[in-house]
Amino acid sequence: MNMKKKSFWRQGILALCLACMCFACGGGEKKAPLGPSKGLPGELLLIVDASLWKTSARDSLEDVLKGSVPGLSQHEPMFRMIRIFPENYSGQYSTMRNIIEVREDPQADGVEMGVAYNVKAVPQTYVNIKARDAASLNHFLMTHREQITDLFLASEMQWEAARLKKKYSKIVDDASRELFGYTVKVPADIAKVKKGEQFIWASSDRQTQDMNYVCYSLPLADSSMLLTKRWVELRDSVMKRNIPGSTPENWMTTTRENGEPLVVQRSVQLADGRQVYEMRGLWEMRKGALGGPFVSLAYPDSAQGRLLVTEGFIYSPDTNKRDLVRRMEAALRTLAPMKP
């Protein structure tokens, strides 16, 4: 299969910034506009040589692409993976939104990885990996699994955000503009809004597949606010005040195990270049039966001397939650200052 390779990684230069190495396909002669890509949420096409698939590389690929989504209480795969061999590739697959091609090349310098965008459709992320052998590929995948999955997750976030900008909850956007001076595009189903002091909680108010959006402002003190333990303390304090349960002993809190919060945290660069801080994990109602996953993004707003924290949390017992969480995460990433 031919593909214009716009960037590559070799194992010896992986420390270079990804943003400096990935370029959208384009340039040269004027071409007809590309059509829309296709694929269900989280769907990914893997094109892999049969020679690699029959080795230990199969386990490594499945571990990376079908491993558990972090921050959920049960296993849900990172992607819905469709696997084909190169000889079965045809036009029906060429417009899928997420494609990773893994080939064996004895002449390769260890492992080389190329990333191209909008090759046959828009939006589309196409990752091409060439490996000298299965052992090299296994090491590469295990060492750089997060960088690989983040490429496709970023694609999913941008695709979902584009959908949200076409159809979103105006009532939540208006509340955010009024209280914080920021716009936000959350799913249109989220229409029940509660306001507090520098606090918004909006919900789809369903018995299942219930999506919730929260945004609150905190005085920006120092970087210690974003250390995991301190951030969880701040979150729990805000939620206790603003999301009470049915009795005085019930309120929302972060789920803990042996006293430690069940969360994971990292720094993330958004598509527009902004650096934000992400925390995801599980919430529950203290002394209650409700709970589920959440994801939070913290936006430092130095000009206003504040930290804006946005959160999406899900209540959907006995159903899968990955796609609901990702939809809310995409919504959180649309938060932006109002234009003058």
pLDDT at 5: 39
Give the list of residues 6+ apart from residue 255 with CB closer than 8 angstroms, or none.
261, 262, 281, 282, 283, 284, 291
Q: What is the CATH code of the structural domain delimited by 168-337?
A: 3.40.1000.10
Contact of 336 with 271, CB cutoff 8 Å: no
Classify strands 263-269 and 336-337 as parallel, antiparallel or unpaired. Answer: unpaired
Amino acid (1-letter code) at residue 115? V
Q: Where are the alpha helices (DSSP H) in 144-217?
A: 145-166, 170-180
CATH architecture of residue range(s) 9-163: 2-Layer Sandwich (3.30)
pLDDT at 123: 93
190 in helix, strand or coil? coil
Give the Cα separation of 235 and 213 in Å (integer). Answer: 14
pTM over 0.85: yes
pLDDT in tens, the chain (340 residues): 333 334 444 444 343 334 334 444 444 556 789 999 999 999 999 999 999 999 999 999 999 999 999 999 999 999 999 999 999 998 899 999 999 999 999 999 999 999 999 999 999 999 999 999 999 999 999 999 999 999 999 999 999 999 999 999 999 999 999 999 999 999 999 999 999 999 999 999 999 999 999 999 999 988 789 899 999 999 999 999 999 988 888 999 999 999 999 999 999 999 899 999 999 999 999 988 899 999 999 999 999 999 999 999 999 998 999 999 999 999 999 999 998 7
pLDDT at 31: 73
Give the Cα separation of 77 and 292 in Å (integer). Answer: 17
Give the Cα separation of 185 and 170 in Å (integer). Answer: 8
127 in helix, strand or coil? strand
pLDDT at 28: 53
Classify strands 111-117 and 125-131 as parallel, antiparallel or unpaired. Answer: antiparallel
Q: Which H or E element spans position 32?
A: none
Structure tokens at 23: 């370029």
Q: Which of 296, 69, 281, 313 is nearest to 209 (CA)?
A: 313
Helix axes 322-332, 145-166, angle to 10 degrees: 70
DSSP for 235-294 reads: HHHHHHHHSB-SSTT-BEEE-EETTEE-EEEEEEE-TTS-EEEEEEEEEEETTSS-EEEE
| Number of residues in the chain | 340
Q: Where are the domains of the chain?
A: 9-163, 168-337
pLDDT at 223: 79
Q: What is the 8-class DSSP label of residue 68?
A: B
Q: Which of 4, 9, 44, 39 is nearest to 25 (CA)?
A: 4
